[in-house]
Amino acid sequence: MLLRPLPCLALALLAAIVGPPAWADAPSPRCSNATLKGTYLYNHVGILEGQPYAESGREVYDGKGGIVLVFQGSDGAGGTEKATYSVSADCIAKAVYADGQTATSFLSPDGRRFTYTITAAPGAKPTALSGSELRVAP
């Protein structure tokens, strides 16, 4: 019975000697509005106002909190809109669009790509949309 605890003790000693994994001490990413700058292509799918929906488009981020968006939706709607955004130091962004939609995004620290979810939308019926964006031009 005394031999069983020895492997556990050996593992505990090894962990104490080796220390925590390298990623545990990695610095937190630092982002700002300037992280998002350039032209991004996107697509998202899900439910809009209770109906299946898909959309693709192009967004141009100015690095200062402004967006110009050109889009085409599966319902036939399309056009150009302006929006605003803000990015926190931990690389989480919030965008607010003219129609009242709000998106929460999780950015790569270099700003080349991000994923997002529409977290607020106008209308009484359910909306659940998410997608990703990829920078294609500076």
CATH of the domain at 90: 2.40.160.90
Look at residue 89 and tell me if it is in a domain. yes
pLDDT tens digits, 94-114: 999 998 999 999 999 999 999
Residue 20's pLDDT band, with cuts at 50, 70 and 90, is: low
> Is it the case that residue 18 has pLDDT exceeding 70?
no
User: What domain range includes position 43?
Assistant: 33-137
Look at residue 102 and tell me if it is in a domain. yes
pLDDT tens digits, 43-85: 999 999 999 999 999 999 999 999 999 999 999 999 999 999 9
pLDDT at residue 127 in the model: 92
pLDDT at residue 19 in the model: 52
Look at residue 77 and tell me if it is in a domain. yes
Look at residue 98 and tell me if it is in a domain. yes
Higher-pLDDT residue of 119 and 18 is: 119
DSSP the chain: -TTTHHHHHHHHHHHHHH-S-GGGGPPPP---GGGSEEEEEEEEEEEETTEEEEEEEEEEEESSSEEEEEEEETTS-EEEEEEEEEE-TTSEEEEEETTS-EEEEEE-TTSSEEEEEEEE-SSSS--EEEEEEEEEE-
38 Cβ partners below 8 Å, 6+ apart?
Answer: 60, 61, 111, 135, 136, 137, 138
Residue 38's pLDDT band, with cuts at 50, 70 and 90, is: very high
Look at residue 3 and tell me if it is in a domain. no
Please state, in angstroms and rounded to a whole number, the distance separating the CA atoms of residues 29 and 88.
Answer: 10
- Dmax of the chain from CA atoms? 74
pLDDT at residue 13 in the model: 44
pLDDT at residue 29 in the model: 73
Share the mean pLDDT of the chain. Answer: 87
> Is it the case that residue 23 has pLDDT exceeding 60?
no
> For the chain, how many structural domains are there in total?
1
Look at residue 59 and tell me if it is in a domain. yes
